[in-house]
Amino acid sequence: MYSANGSMTDKNDFLLLVSQTIRHEVANILFVAGGNLALYNEEQNPKRLETIRKSLEELDSLMNLWKDLELIGEDDFWQDLESLLMRTIIVKSSVKIMFEVPEVKIKANGLFGLVFTNFIENTIKYSGKSFPCVKIWAEEEKDGNLLIVYEDDGVGISELEKDIIFNKGYGKNTGLGLFFIKEIVEMIGGTVKETGTNGVRFEVRVPECNFRTTYNKKL
């Protein structure tokens, strides 16, 4: 089922759509890899092997994502934001990441970390820099929501694209894609938007009912 604003409201709908997308991507990757293997056998061009290697890396990433989708069936649980970010960035050696977040726990399923994984992967692919810098910070807003900001120092996103980057099917080779990221955030009643002027700036807002500060034991 979809809500009035086009967002999915059921986890099963989300799981089905992502599974269909992954199957489609896997088929495309295998087609590309198979075609380049056939051409390599004819040409012996090492560039074909490099294309095959990249295809296998994409395939491995998709298989790991498919495994992660098992987490969607579990109940939401309280997750420490700093620990979640550490798990997200620990394997990213091609980007400099700084983060400053308060002592906060977020109530969400195990897919929530994929929000920041996707942001980082897009920075690596599209920032235009060989070693981009990323900053992640968070603060509690006056209205009671938690604001989490992801920023990089890349080329950013054009004004024309800001309103469509979260649409289903937008972009290519973007992992889950920002449409799915939006759905993950909306599962906990949150919102996400892009507001960058120099580099990207994603603002994720988590409602008061789904976060708590550990220092004052909110909730």
Quote the pLDDT of residue 174: 46
What is the Cα–Cα distance from 21 to 24, expressed in whole angstroms?
5
> Considering the chain, what percentage of its residues have pLDDT values greater than 70?
82
Average pLDDT (160-182) is 77
Spell out the long-range contacts of 155-163 with Cβ–Cβ below 8 A and sequence spacing 24 or more: 155/126, 155/127, 155/128, 155/199, 156/196, 156/197, 156/198, 156/199, 156/200, 157/194, 157/196, 157/200, 162/194, 162/195
Amino acid of residue 203: E
Q: Is residue 217 a contact partner of residue 148, using CB atoms and an 8 Å limit?
A: no
Q: What is the pLDDT of residues 107-136, one digit of tens each?
A: 998 889 889 988 998 898 888 888 899 999
Output 74 or 96, whichever has higher pLDDT: 96
Q: Residue 59, Cβ neighbours under 10 Å: how many?
A: 15
Quote the pLDDT of residue 2: 39
Quote the pLDDT of residue 173: 52
Task: Please tell me the CATH code under which domain 76-213 is placed.
Answer: 3.30.565.10
Quote the pLDDT of residue 10: 64
Q: Is residue 137 a contact partner of residue 101, using CB atoms and an 8 Å limit?
A: yes
Quote the pLDDT of residue 206: 96
Quote the pLDDT of residue 172: 55
**Burial tier of 186 (Cβ tally within 10 Å: 0-12, 13-18, 19+):** middle
Quote the pLDDT of residue 141: 95
What is the Cα–Cα distance from 120 to 150, expressed in whole angstroms?
9
Question: Over 90: is that where the pLDDT of 202 sits?
Answer: yes
How confident is residue 74, by pLDDT bands cut at 50, 70 and 90? low
Total-model pTM: 0.75
Domain ranges of the chain: 11-71, 76-213
By three-state DSSP, how is residue 117 classified? helix
Quote the pLDDT of residue 70: 66
How confident is residue 53, by pLDDT bands cut at 50, 70 and 90? confident
What is the Cα–Cα distance from 148 to 137, expressed in whole angstroms?
6
